[in-house]
A and B are shown apart, each in its own frame.
Chain A
Amino acid sequence: MSTRLPVKTTAFLRETGGISAFAGRFFKETWKPRYEVAEFIHQCYIIGYKSLPLIGLTGFIMGLVLTMQLRPSLVEYGVASQLPAMVGIAIVREIGPVITALIFAGKIGSSIGAELGSMKVTEQIDAMEVSGTNPFKYLVVTRVLASTLMLPVLVMLSDAISLYGSYLGVNIRGVTSFHLFYTQVFDSLAFTDVLPAFVKSFFFGFAVGIIGCFKGYFSNKGTEGVGQSANSAVVVSSIMIFIIDLIAVQITDVFNLN
């Protein structure tokens, strides 16, 4: 009987091993000088600030729609007054971080994958190396650090904007003061709701950054490969976000943070 693994299994294992080794190299290279501070700040601007309009808009719509969808059910059970608390917990604990991370993966993961893929096939990465630059530090470390640090900030802003969208949603069919709405939201939230959501956002950001960079850095097959890199960066990052979320839920459960 043949002991050979199916081709797809081998490819999956090879890719998983490749991403793990790439992440290992990231941790090794991050601490070594020369530190690319200017490029890191530039990437924070591109990855963080320039993602804000998209993240803000989707966050606002998410809060508004969630409120309008939940309201009829809560009215039916006579607990419409719990709407701000329910929406607040849902957004802060789960929907805010996950949806923001998925949109971030779509925008930043594809952008990093395509940019590095394009640089690879047009020999720009080689040109950097010839110019006395470690391309891994200059391109990968800066982008992964920026996405790891910027996503939690974007999640917090998205949560805030979502809650404002929810406040407007509540007021479409009823009248609730701004003060009352936010009092109900914050009364329902505990520190143990915010902390795990905030911490997992760092892991989401790291996953998007490292997978986008891996896909772009090892892009091949010319311009076709660039498109494939961008596409698979989004697909793999999105799957990783759900896997990390699943693990995070188990960990918070073990430590009784729920």
Chain B
Amino acid sequence: MLEQPEISPVQTQNLPNVMVVSHLYKSFGSQVVLADFNLTLGNGENLVVLGKSGSGKSVLIKCIIGLLEPDAGTIEMFGKNIPDLDHVELDKIRAKVGFLFQSNALYDSMTVRQNLEFPLRRHWIQVTQAEVDELVTDALADVGLAHTVDMMPAELSGGMRKRIALARTLILKPEIILYDEPTTGLDPVTGKEIIELIVEIQKKYKSSSLIISHDMTCVRMAADRVAVLIDGRCYAEGTYASLKKSNDPKVKQFFE
């Protein structure tokens, strides 16, 4: 039997929801990863899902983008339930949802320009070559790396690769951006720069962001609201300040 959280869910902002995750279950064999997980993401909100390594954060975000199929539950975005969609419909949704991978997932065999052009060309976006060039230039300018356009990913540092991956995520001007551990593998200074960039981008594009992280600096700097993932469910949620004051040992451990 799961313990009841001491902190009751707190709706910190009165925003219309752009994503609603309801009663989500996901297991791998006998290992239960998500069990009755519920979550909402408000329009223009930066929501951080906080959890320990191996708690199922990446599984959650991969279920949301349709890379994993949940065992039960619904994930509603743009009026559609993601697990019910076929590939064609799912691709239409994915064109409106950016995904920043934990490992950046830049294509090693392509230049930075080709990496950025890839989603534009694959989603059948009707744009001329001049418009593609402009979008690539703008996306790279947003992350401060316009000079890397003809470089290969292998020639870039870890922080630069993360920024390029972010530029690739932004190129389709997504309404929702999903970040999977955006500061993992980066030094604290670079990690902080990436978080500042994420906040800046959210303000500029007015997008909604779901950030998966266990990095408390990221949570403190980026979160409008925090959801704590423990035992496969949303154990507690609230603002950073409200959760920091919690006396619940399971929540408190993150802030110590």
Q: Which residues of A contact B118 (CB under 8 A)?
A: 131, 133
- CB < 8 Å neighbour of A130 from B65, B102, B107, B109: B65
Within 111-125 of B, Cβ neighbours of A (below 8 Å) are at 118-119, 122-124
- If A126-B67, A127-B107 touch, does A132 touch B119 (CB 8 Å cutoff)? yes
Judged by DSSP, the binding face of A is helix
Specify the main secondary structure of chain B where it touches its partner: loop
Interface membership of chain A positions 88-128, coded 1 if the CB is closer than 8 angstroms to chain B and 0 otherwise: 00000000000000000000000000010011001110111
Query: Which of B40-48, B91-99, B224-232 lies on the face that meets chain A?
Result: B91-99
Closest-CB distance, B118 to chain A (whole angstroms): 6
Bound: A119/B105 CA distance, A: 8
The answer to whether A122 and B103 touch across the interface, beta carbons within 8 angstroms, is yes
Cβ of B103: which chain A residues have Cβ within 8 Å of it?
A: 122-123
Q: Which residues of B contact A122 (CB under 8 A)?
A: 103-105, 108
Give the Cβ gap from A127 to chain B, nearest Cβ, in Å: 4
Say whether, besides A122-B103, A123-B102, A130 and B108 are in contact (CB < 8 Å).
Answer: no
A134 at the interface (CB under 8 A from B): yes
A127 surroundings in chain B (CB, below 8 A): 99, 101, 105, 107
Find out whether the CB atom of B105 lies under 8 angstroms from the CB atom of A123: yes
B87 at the interface (CB under 8 A from A): yes
Q: Which residues of B contact A115 (CB under 8 A)?
A: 109
- Residue numbers in B under 8 Å from A124 (CB-CB): 105-108
The answer, yes or no, to whether A15 is at the interface (CB within 8 Å) is no
Whether A133 lies near B102 (C-beta < 8 A) is no
B108 touches A118 (CB 8 A): yes
For residue A223, give the distance in angstroms from its CB to the closest CB of chain B.
12
What is the CA–CA distance of A129 and B106 in the complex, to the nearest angstrom?
13
A79 to B56, CA, bound (A): 75
Pick the residue among A129, A133, A134 that contacts B67 (CB under 8 A). Answer: A129
A220 to chain B, nearest CB (A): 13
A25 to chain B, nearest CB (A): 14
Contacts of B108 in A (CB 8 A): 118-119, 122, 124
Interface size class, chain B: 20 to 34
Interface centre among A118, A127, A129, A134 (most CB of B within 10 A): A127
Chain B nearest CB, measured from A216 CB (Å) = 13
Query: Roughly how many angstroms separate A123 CA and B105 CA in the complex, as a whole number?
Result: 5
Which residues, 55 to 101 on B, are CB-close (under 8 Å) to A?
Answer: 62, 65, 67, 87, 91, 94-95, 99, 101
Question: For residue A42, which residue of chain B has the nearest CB?
Answer: B109
CB-nearest residue of chain A relative to B102? A123
Chain B residue with Cβ nearest A46: B109
Beta-carbon nearest neighbor of B87 in chain A: A134
Contacts of B65 in A (CB 8 A): 130
Measured in the bound complex, the distance between the Cα atoms of B110 and A115 in whole Å is 13
Find the B residue at minimum CB distance from A122.
Answer: B103
A132-B102 CB under 8 A given contacts A124-B107, A124-B108, A126-B67: no
B246 to chain A minimum Cβ distance, whole angstroms, is: 34
Q: Which of B140-177 contact A (CB under 8 A)?
A: none
Q: How far is the CB of A49 from chain B (nearest CB, A)?
A: 16
Least CB distance, A202 to chain B, in whole angstroms: 27
- When distances are taken between beta carbons in the complex, the residues of chain A under 8 Å from B95 are 132
Instruction: Determine the chain B residues whose CB is within 8 A of the CB of A123 once the complex forms.
Output: 101-103, 105
Query: Which chain B residues lie closer than 8 Å to A130 at the CB level?
Result: 65, 67, 94, 99
Asked if B124 and A132 sit within 8 Å, CB to CB, the answer is: yes
Question: How far does the Cβ of A67 sit from chain B's closest Cβ, in whole Å?
Answer: 41
Chain A hits for B123, CB < 8 A? 131-132
Among A118, A119, A126, A131, point to the contact of B122 (Cβ < 8 A): A131
Q: For residue A118, which residues in chain B have a CB less than 8 angstroms away from its CB?
A: 108
Can you list 17 contacts pairing A with B, beta carbon distance less than 8 Å? A122-B105, A123-B101, A123-B102, A123-B105, A126-B105, A128-B107, A128-B122, A129-B67, A130-B65, A131-B94, A131-B118, A132-B91, A132-B94, A132-B119, A133-B118, A133-B122, A134-B87
Given contacts A122-B108, A123-B103, 7 further A-B contacts (CB under 8 A): A124-B106, A124-B107, A127-B99, A127-B105, A130-B94, A131-B123, A132-B123
- B binding-site residues for A, Cβ under 8 Å: 62, 65, 67, 87, 91, 94-95, 99, 101-109, 118-119, 122-124
Binding site for B on A (CB under 8 A): 115, 118-119, 122-124, 126-134
| 6 closest cross-chain pairs (CB), A and B | A127-B105, A123-B105, A131-B119, A132-B123, A132-B122, A132-B91
